[in-house]
Amino acid sequence: MSAFTWPPESSTPASSDDAGPAEQVPAAVLVALFLAARVPAGAQEPYVVLTKRRSDLRRHAGEISFPGGRKDAEDADLLATALRETEEEIGLARSRVQLLGELPPTSTFVTNYVIQPFVATISAGTDWKVSASEVEAVLELPLSALRAGRTRTRLQRRGISFETDAYVVDEHLIWGATARILENLLERLRERGPAGQLSLA
């Protein structure tokens, strides 16, 4: 079991543990997938897009989540929220997104959000345009590596030590609501046909 010393703040609320009884804030994230050849294997396989927060932020620096955020009044629905936030954070235009479906809503504890994940496919080789104020890097991680990296880890946050499910790929740690969304994705994602088309069960 590994040990590390997460939930993002309001603009990217994709983490932490189950929320309490207080009224929850609606939010949405985009789980963007693409097919690409993984070196050195060469065969096409699914990758998922995540973001790493800037390491110099005052809160939750360097943490990993899906692009997304809380619903604004001008958003027609939660899908509009996910698409708007994703375009703002990493420059992915909504016209380049092909929706596959939704995953179960996931709650957070500290920030008290209820997050609706939307799963979509995009083309490989996207030229990311990150928000300089909040995103340090865009991560493109193969789902096979995430499956292999599932673990239990001990975290320390605000002086409290606890164990939690997590995914570790290289130096990247993913836990909380983001890890639970990933778990739901890995359970439901299907590949069909020789071209490996993606769908949700």
**47-79: per-residue pLDDT in tens?**
999 999 887 766 556 789 999 999 999 999 999
Among 99, 102, 143, smallest CA distance to 121 is for 99
Q: Residue 179 and residue 82: Cα distance in Å, rounded?
A: 18
Phi, psi (degrees; rounded to nearest 5) at 9? -75, -170
Question: 39 CB contacts (<8 Å, ≥6 apart)?
Answer: none
pLDDT by 10-residue block (mean), the chain, 201 residues? 36 43 88 87 87 75 87 97 97 97 91 94 95 93 95 72 84 92 94 75 85
User: What class does CATH assign to 2-190?
Assistant: alpha beta
**24-50: per-residue pLDDT in tens?**
999 999 999 999 987 776 778 899 999
Helix count and strand count (H, E) for the chain:
3, 14
> What is the value of pTM for the model shown?
0.84
The token pair at 141 is: 């991680």
Q: How far is CA 9 from the centre of its chain?
A: 14
